[in-house]
Structure 1
Amino acid sequence: MNLENSLAYDNFINDLEKDVMPFVEKTFSVSTGTENTAIAGFSMGGREALYIGIQHPEQFGYVGAVCPAPGLVSGTDTSQHPGQLKDDELKFDKTMDLHICYVWQLLDGTGHDESSVEIYLYNYMQMIFK
């Protein structure tokens, strides 16, 4: 990982909004709107899911991250990433009418691999698709 690689991940928000979401809505029968839209990711994808969800709470009703990579805010090694957000920006917009529920899961016996992703996604889907 280096800064150039990290910044390429940060650019995913543009692909998601301009290409992926319109393709999904055009190709599949999906419900739209914030209450029907979720984003989740693992590792670097988890970091990006958090970033995108915080930047666009009007678009995503559910945000999930499994083992999110560092870089959302600056850390001790800014050569890999200076931080997508300042510490005081790591919050949802208080002016929006949001119902925010945080769930933290510590999964024993799992690692930074599919063993944590499978359990997390199962639990995440159970919570959002009621």
Structure 2
Amino acid sequence: MKKIISHIILLLLAFNVSAANVDTLVVFSKSMNKEIKNVVITPNSYKKNGNAFSVVYLLHGAGGDHKAWLGKSPDIKTYADQYNVVLVCPDGQKTSWYFDSPIDKTMQYETYISKELITEIDKKYNTIANKEHRAITGYSMGGHGALYLAFKHPDIWGVAASMSGGVDIRPFPLKWDIEKRLGVYAENPEVWEQNTVINLVHLLNGKNLKFLFDCGVDDFFYDANLRLHKKLLERNIPHDYIERPGGHTNNYWNNSIKYQMLFFSEFFKNTNNE
């Protein structure tokens, strides 16, 4: 009897394991003249010639690479199956900040992700190639990157999110190699002002992008996120904002992505019903 029970438990566990497929896609970036690796996770239901899929882009934080999300949140593989979406995790270099650097031509990650990568993903995978079925999010540096790219390119992403995002880089002039991407703050203040998320709110009209951002109240980016929230309220820009206990940790991000995937899924469903 014990053996039978054990077999039943093993079978149940087997059925609960994600059936999503994890691939590595290498894309040549013309803007940077180099090859870049990207993790692509397709759901078990994925078929090259079947129904097309919505796509969620996941950006990593400083120090990470294309495999970072698999380590931070192994559950993302199950979300590909649960929500029937394709997940794309690009390598944004350790500290690219997802800018097109005006001083380093080897760091053109805005162009790479918003143009080159999306073109390749839509070419090689069975995707719904429009903004209504394309989402982007990230943690920390990736949270900045997700909102930065979505605010600047609302024609590409219909929905976006950020968790623990560095949405105002100006208080950190000596951190995370930002000065290597934009120049020293004291010498290039206008470049920093033009490339911090909190100063890109003027690009939003309240209709061209649906977005969510959250941050733990113990996070060193909490103040910046709260200020962004208040600025959006002042401008009457619709958005979802969440703050909860927690710091700049894997546990926080692993919890946060659950809510954000639901947010994206609801957006995709509502788009289908329109």
TM-score, normalised via structure 1 length: 0.74
- The whole-number CA distance in structure 1 between the counterparts of 2:197 and 2:128 is 33
* Structure 2 unmatched runs, 5+: 1-61, 63-93, 100-107, 179-184, 186-191, 211-237, 267-274
- The whole-number CA distance in structure 2 between the counterparts of 1:47 and 1:93 is 16
Offset, 1:54 = 0.8
Offset, 1:47 = 0.6
Match of 2:262 in 1: 126
- The whole-number CA distance in structure 2 between the counterparts of 1:86 and 1:45 is 12
Which structure shows the bigger proportion of residues in strand conformation?
A: 2
Offset, 1:73 = 5.6
Pairing partner for 2:201 from 72, 77, 90 = 90
The 8 Å contact of residues 107 and 116 in structure 1, kept in 2 or not, is answered as no
Pairing partner for 1:61 from 158, 178, 182 = 158
The 8 Å contact of residues 97 and 145 in structure 2, kept in 1 or not, is answered as no
The 8 Å contact of residues 74 and 86 in structure 1, kept in 2 or not, is answered as no
* Structure 1 unmatched runs, 5+: none
- The whole-number CA distance in structure 2 between the counterparts of 1:54 and 1:24 is 21
List structure 1 segments (4+ residues) > 2 angstroms apart after TM superposition: 5-9, 72-75, 77-83, 85-94, 96-101
- The whole-number CA distance in structure 2 between the counterparts of 1:7 and 1:18 is 16
- The whole-number CA distance in structure 1 between the counterparts of 2:256 and 2:120 is 26
**Cα distance, 1:99–1:55 mapped onto 2, change above 3 Å:** closer
Larger Rg: 2
1:30-56 alpha-carbon deviations (Å, 9 max, x no partner):
112111111101111111111111101
SS in 1 for 2:160: strand
**Cα distance, 1:113–1:98 mapped onto 2, change above 3 Å:** same
Q: Does 1:104 align with 2:241?
A: yes
Name the stretch that deviates more: 78-87 or 24-33.
78-87
Percent same amino acid among aligned pairs?
A: 16
SS in 2 for 1:39: strand
- The whole-number CA distance in structure 2 between the counterparts of 1:102 and 1:113 is 24
Match of 2:170 in 1: 74
TM-score, normalised via structure 2 length: 0.39
Match of 1:35 in 2: 132
Match of 1:116 in 2: 252
What's the Cα RMSD here?
2.8
- The whole-number CA distance in structure 2 between the counterparts of 1:18 and 1:116 is 30
**Letter of the 1:91 counterpart:** H
Q: Does 1:50 align with 2:160?
A: no
- The whole-number CA distance in structure 2 between the counterparts of 1:121 and 1:9 is 20
